[in-house]
Amino acid sequence: MMTVFTKSFGCRLNQAEGGQMDAAFENAGFQRVPSASDVIVVNSCTVTQKAESECLKFLRHVRITQPKACIVLTGCAAETCTPDAIRGLADLIVRQTEKDNIVPLVMRHLGKETVAPGTSFRKPRTQRAALKVQDGCAFACAYCVVPFARGNVSRSRPFNECLAEARTLIENGFQEIVITGCNTACYQDEGKTLVDLLHALLPLPGLGRVRLGSIEPETVERDIIKLMLAEPKLCRFLHLPIQSGDDETLKRMRRRYTVDRVMRFLDAAYQQIPDISIGTDLITGFPGETEAAFNNSRKLVESYPFSNVHVFPYSERPKTTAAEMPNPVAATTRKQRARQLIQTAANGRLEYMRRFIGKPVTLVIERYDPHGRACGWSAEYLPCAVRGLPGNLRRTLATFTPTDIRNGTLTH
């Protein structure tokens, strides 16, 4: 029996696709192993220079430490890296459009008989199951390499296929389903939208809850808030990648909204659901970003109780418009601004978490730590660690009342 090891970098969508590849290899008779193996699949990410460097570093490492392995490169690096950057690092390169056929391609490369595809369950990598519903993005933001890596047209999975996979996930004991995609808000199949899909998913028997991945501003977020108010199984969590709190910067980024529109939505969301968990992404040091523009982003973070803020120093990406823009910001300034914003966001996150001290919180148990505590994430996407629960409750929902916050985790 041949062995396979897969390593997925980057976003939740990549992680979901990594789980699909795992299942496809198992269905073809491969044994999954945690490290050294006959076949090593690297599912790459290149959304930032740092992410790309980490993927290439890992490829170089396995090339040296496992010279006899068949190394397969797939994911975004297969689309955006130059031939010189990946030359000699992989034995087989599988493009994004070929991911669903990765097993036959590997078998053919190895000179083995191709196994007919089966119907194996797509095993998630965590106790929360990711359901991929969409891929590709047509928004063409100035800084973003995703349209080059995943396609510049939104492509949605068939509505019934999404429901069928969700049923399979539930039948296999998963209480939480995470809806993911490249631009999830653009889901549409035969007139059915993301909200329609959620309406169909939430009543499925045996489902504990549904969590949404990232939703672009000025798409369906207002309808999502209405659905949250009506459906307790839809997590009160929304990730809204705002990217900047400055209108001029947003224009240069080619984003599709203004700061005022975002703030109006945030005000309405917090008014309707006071403890809603809203996260965001912000970029520091975008070309032309002045100190005043950066301070506008900082003021935005200070003005709202964001539960999560992912801060990225701007990173030039190949083929993007922003990579050629004038007035670049020095790399040291980008990082300095990022550190400032991260600290501001950390203070806000702690204040948000304190809201849940003394209130019932429900988590999906993913693992048990060395102290025997049940660990997982709340509906608000806050880390939790609970003492005193039985050790056989993985994948199940458990409710507890936090009494403290330790190392960024709700505990009792």
pLDDT per position as a tens digit, 53-81:
999 999 999 999 999 999 999 999 999 99
Beta bridge partners of 405: 410
- Which residues, in sequence order, are CB contacts of 260 under 8 Å at separation 6+? 247
| Whether the Cβ atoms of residue 19 and residue 127 lie closer than 8 Å to each other | no
d(CA 187, CA 129) in angstroms, rounded, equals 19
**Count of alpha carbons within 13 Å of 25, Cβ hemisphere only?**
25
Distance spanning both ends of the chain, measured CA to CA: 46
Alpha-carbon distance of 136 to 158, in angstroms, equals: 15
Average pLDDT, the chain: 94
> How many residues in total does the chain contain?
412
If phi over 0 gives left and psi between -120 and 50 gives alpha, with beta otherwise, what is residue 107? alpha
Given pLDDT bands bounded at 50, 70 and 90, which one contains residue 276? very high
List, in sequence order, the alpha helices (H) in 152-311: 159-171, 194-201, 221-230, 247-253, 259-272, 291-303
Residue 3, Cβ density class (10 Å: 0-12 exposed, 13-18 middle, ≥19 buried): middle
pLDDT at res. 35: 82
The amino acid that residue 290 corresponds to is T
Q: Give me the residue label for tokens 């939104």.
A: 154
Answer for the pair 78, 72: CB distance below 8 angstroms, yes or no.
Answer: no
The model's pTM is 0.93
Could you tell me which of 199, 188, 244 has the C-alpha nearest to residue 223?
199
The residue with tokens 């839809």 is 234
pLDDT in tens, 136-184: 999 999 999 999 999 999 999 999 999 999 999 999 999 999 999 999 9
CA–CA gap between residue 229 and residue 276 (Å, rounded)? 11
Q: Residue 119 — pLDDT band, cuts 50, 70, 90? A: very low
% of the chain exceeding 70 in pLDDT: 97
> Which two three-digit tokens encode residue 299?
């003021």
Q: Show the tokens assigned to 402.
A: 């936090």
- d(CA 20, CA 32) in angstroms, rounded, equals 13
**pLDDT digits 0-9 by tens, 100-109:** 999 999 999 9
Q: From the CB of residue 173, how many other CB atoms can be counted at a distance below 10 Å?
A: 12
Q: How far apart are CA 160 and CA 140, in angstroms?
A: 29
